[in-house]
Copies of this chain bind each other. A is one copy, B any other.
Amino acid sequence: MASGGELINNKQVIFKNFVEGFPKESDMEVKTSSISLKVEEGSNAVVVKNLYLSCDPYMRNRMTQSDQETNDPEFIPFTPGSPLEGFGVAKVVDSGHPNYKKGDLIWGMVKWEEYSLIENPQLFKIHHADVPLSHYTGILGMPGITAWAGFYEVCSPKKGEKVYISAASGAVGQLVGQFAKLMGCYVVGSAGSKEKVDLLKNKFGFDDAFNYKEEHDLDAALKRCFPEGIDIYFENVGGKMLDAVLLNMRLRGRIAACGMISQYNLHQPEGVYNLMNIVGKRIRMEGLMAFDYFPQYAKFLDVVLPFVREKKVVYVEDIAEGIESAPAALVGLFSGRNVGKQVVAVAKE
């Protein structure tokens, strides 16, 4: 959509082509394009200035070519030659849409660039700016809703239950663990470095934690941490970890399947062999996606915003500075380089 205003420079992170295996920085490139900061007369679009971009594991799905039709924003492939898309926090610069006005802070789906023209905007307005705005890419945004819905809605948790979380220091895992502690559960997490394990134990208050890379036998590690078994597993990684967990689930255990990051970059996913446990132990395993819970955002915020303000829940972010750092930040997710929620800071207000 062309528009009448003056054009200014707009740095963008361009998706070069579809990816197989692990994504590399060279699958993206930072280019300067131009954009008008005015929306066209009569349009219902908005133009926003992007402040924070969110790096999330689901974005790997969108880097794969697919001929499957989908309405799920998480699965619509990126367009080679165009900027990546993802969640972000932004400020409205101009608006033709009755719900948004200049100066509004929003979060939602934006493009990976300094300024985005968004047609048919479906963006959440940020009404509480007394907390760090970057939190709207994390604890108060999509990962927060995922953790909240996955734990409270899907897992049906009860006080005293034994909860295991993989990728536990990530954007979602750190929250699930803290929600579970607030409920009075016994909570163990795994992560991929000593630094992350220390965070789990010392900052997030997990009862125990282990570095999965240092365990040659995941089944034994889980038996050590859960001698009586696991009631709730918050699944972020899939593959071998899921297989070991199935052996250690208790009767009527619940598995919230939020993601399987260990599998996203494999040409052929790993086989899972222990599914018979689902029958014998009457396990319920259920997939979830944050999008399904967006209509409940206000309800979610009522619960979680006080947690943030009262410091009942802490949130660790790994903030990369500048849009030029975005490709490396995204790639780093898949090697576990980030410590905490990975964000890219594009601009100050």
A321 at the interface (CB under 8 A from B): no
CA distance A107 to B5 in the complex (A): 83
CA distance A138 to B172 in the complex (A): 46
CA distance A260 to B277 in the complex (A): 10
A287 at the interface (CB under 8 A from B): yes
- Chain B residue with Cβ nearest A291: B282
A271 at the interface (CB under 8 A from B): yes
A45 at the interface (CB under 8 A from B): no
A321 to chain B, nearest CB (A): 32
A72 at the interface (CB under 8 A from B): yes
B278→A287 contact, CB < 8 A? yes
A335 at the interface (CB under 8 A from B): no
A349 to chain B, nearest CB (A): 35
Total interface residues in chain A, CB < 8 Å: 34
> Quick one: CB contact mask for A294-306 with B, threshold 8 Å, 1 for yes?
0000000000000
A125 to chain B, nearest CB (A): 27
B282→A284 contact, CB < 8 A? no
A287 and B282 in contact, given A260-B276, A270-B273, A271-B270 (Cβ under 8 angstroms) = yes
A275 and B288 in contact, given A72-B280, A280-B72, A280-B75 (Cβ under 8 angstroms) = no
A257→B279 contact, CB < 8 A? yes
CA distance A257 to B281 in the complex (A): 11
Which B residues touch A268, using CB under 8 A?
A: 273
CA distance A61 to B279 in the complex (A): 12
A50 to chain B, nearest CB (A): 27
Which B residues touch A260, using CB under 8 A?
A: 275-276, 279
A280 to chain B, nearest CB (A): 7
A283 at the interface (CB under 8 A from B): yes
A123 at the interface (CB under 8 A from B): no
A130 to chain B, nearest CB (A): 34
A234 to chain B, nearest CB (A): 12
A332 at the interface (CB under 8 A from B): no
CA distance A275 to B243 in the complex (A): 11
CA distance A258 to B277 in the complex (A): 11
A286 at the interface (CB under 8 A from B): yes
CA distance A257 to B282 in the complex (A): 8
- The 7 A-B pairs of least Cβ separation, nearest first, read A271-B271, A279-B287, A278-B287, A284-B286, A282-B287, A285-B285, A257-B279
